[in-house]
Amino acid sequence: MVPEWQEAYMNYNFLKTLLKEILIFRQQSRSPENQVNPRSRPLKATTLKRRGSLFRAFSGLTGYGNRSPKQDKEDEVILVSAMHTADEERGEDGRSYQTIFLRASEEGAEYELVFFRRLDDEFNKVVNFYRAKVEEVVKDAEELNIQMDALIALRIKVNDPAAVSPLINQRNTGYPLEVIQEEQQEKRSNDVKEYQMASLDVLNHIKINTTAETPLSAIKNLFIGSNSDLRFNKNELREAKEKLKQAFIEFHEKLRFLKNYVFLNQLAFSKIMKKYDKITSRNASDAYLKTVEESYLGQSDEVTKLIERVESAFVKHFCNGNRHQGMSTLKPNTKKKRHRDTFFVGKLQACCKIASIIDLNGTTLTIVDLNSTTLTDVSSVAGCFFGCSLALVVAITVNVHARDLLNSRGRTQYMDTIFPLYIVFGFLVLHMLMYAGNVYYWTRYRVNYSFIFGFKPGTELGYIEILLLSSGLSVLTLAAVLSNLEMELDQNTERYTTLTELLPLGLVIVVLLIAVCPFNIFYRANRFYLLVCLWHCICAPFYAITLPDFFLADQFTSQVQLLRNLQFYVCYYGWGDFKNRNAETCKGSVYNVIYIVIAVIPYWIRVLQCMKRFLGGHDSTQALNALKYFSTIVALVARTIQTQRGGPVLQIIAGSTSGVATIFNTYWDIVMDWGLLCRNSDNPWLRDKLILPNRSIYFIAMVLNVILRLAWMQTVMNFHQAPFLHRNALIAIIACLEIIRRGLWNFFRLENEHLNNVGKFRAVKSVPLPFSYENDDKNL
């Protein structure tokens, strides 16, 4: 089932409930004395009945043969007729189907009347939706025809037609080429091919659709202006070909969706009618299924023909006749799903293998050989990493407790310098865990996150793969933390203090190298996708803003503390403070200014993205959204200055600006991003359509969102001065709460986006076409 078309499918479950009501009525209407216990029946009667059936006339494998007309007439239960609507002159397009129940005088027939009435409604809904979609794809095919005419003409113009003119039959030039509907015939005469030549006149009526692909091209368009006139160069040909290729891929996917839509609905009608026959002991399925087969749903073959022609045209014009390459592009392999339980099996197995990793009587760490552990898939590897992470956490806890490091003199120095370096990876791991949870529940409740984010089919990461990455990163981080502690306290490694301080930096370098690694390892497609979205965020005003871009920018607004810690990395290692484990350089006025700027950057990116969308005319509410982020910037700057300088005046300013920003952001989260708090909806104070079965979860999520957004109060109320907890530890806890809030926001934000796509039946990406026509004149 296409998730975005869910409302357009036959409602099989509801029809089953109606059949269940019929079954219950029939069971209740039978008198006890007329009910016969099957166990009390004589065996002889049953045997004779079965033997008698072996000598009856064969009814045929299709279920239609060897029945007399008189018997068919007597067994008629329903009569299905096509009723003409107001659009009767449209022929088939104006029909709706209505079933007349011929046994209405029987007791309990009202239940069956309701069933057939709803069955007709579902059938008409399916037929009308399919008819509308077929008309839509036919129009799209006509548009692709015209676009392909222009592409072929441009190809001829760019590739110097004078060089191939001797091979062209001049009698056939000047006729347009219908690409999708073409059945080109090639003849040989004196070893020269004669074929139909595309007309070049189409180039006089079209313009190239240019888009700002790079910041440089966007700046040129801003100052020089965009020029969409054709220059007939190879760059234009290459870009037009790529755009049209992508349009063909999306069009083919839509056709496959429609073909599958027909199959699933025909199967659903067949199964529901057989259930009706079984419950009522009637024979009505043949008549109704015959109507289904003779309807537009069963007789229309436009989609099948279009699929064949699209595949033929795509292989010929975009794959150089290589059908295997073309079909692998049009029909990418679906991602193989792995059994979710193997993750927990792998986790349990790893935990058992590492159960003896810690010697509680001492402080040494023993590494267990895991070569005997068979990890057959990704989930088992993720489970192994998870088990290793748990063991390392226990090892670090025992190490700290055994050596009483919490009460040592270097505790404050460690928390001021080393802790901010390692907590960066803690923020990353927590964010990835929240995203893994999002993916799990999106998949469970059929939220098409892959389509919404625009992942290449088959490359999207499942929750197990994300858990693998997060658990692997946690193992590296915890191993580095434990190694750092061991090297500091071991007398044999005291002289290598500089090397000890470089462990966090080395870990950052390893993570960055993996992120930009050009080789096909560690999910290269996803890493490249993330880097492209990150680049779009950095260059926000120069690119068209899509959902993945502003979704990623929103994630960075919840990782402000991570960005500040990266600033601490630059200061700590760049100015050489790591040699003495002293961060005095990172406390100056310049550092404090940059400390504010770093925190503002994610919100400023969102302001630019909102203004870009507002000026582009896509959404007028984006001006208010930009104002929301600007209010957050003001509140953030006020809180940071109040923390650095103190004072009652700054405290009042920080509290008031933060309060306004919190109210603004909370309203936008719940009402605009989540689509909740609709007073007159079918679900009071929520929305008409919900994915989660338990409505109370939405109210809990709204309350949690408000509570977690009030975390800024710890700064204004000076909670960071609590003596029982170090300031950096409290800041890390508050940052983790914000990451958790963002994880909750992610699920409901994408749920609302999915429901919007469902409401508009958008199941395929809209791809911009390469050519436009002067005065919209396509009758060339």
Per-residue pLDDT reduced to its tens digit, 568-607:
999 999 888 888 888 877 888 899 999 999 999 999 999 9
Tokens encoding 629: 């982020």
Distance CA 516, CA 520 (A): 11
Degrees (nearest 5) of the Cα angle 373, 377, 380?
50
- pTM of structure: 0.79
Distance CA 494, CA 485 (A): 11
Nearest Cα to 448, choosing from 753, 676, 687?
753
Q: Which pLDDT value is given to residue 611?
A: 93
Q: Which pLDDT value is given to residue 67?
A: 43
Domain boundaries, the chain: 19-32+69-77+130-285+301-331, 526-761
What are the residue ranges in the chain where pLDDT is below 50? 33-34, 36, 38-50, 53, 58-71, 73-74, 88-93, 163-195, 339-376, 779-780
520 sits in the region (left: phi over 0; alpha: psi -120 to 50; else beta) called: beta
DSSP state of 670: I
How many CA atoms does the CB half-sphere of 106 hold within 13 Å?
Answer: 14
Residue pair 526/459 in contact (Cβ under 8 Å)? The answer is yes
How many CA atoms does the CB half-sphere of 663 hold within 13 Å?
Answer: 5
Distance CA 610, CA 604 (A): 10
Distance CA 79, CA 287 (A): 7
67 sits in the region (left: phi over 0; alpha: psi -120 to 50; else beta) called: beta
Nearest Cα to 767, choosing from 31, 194, 254, 159?
254
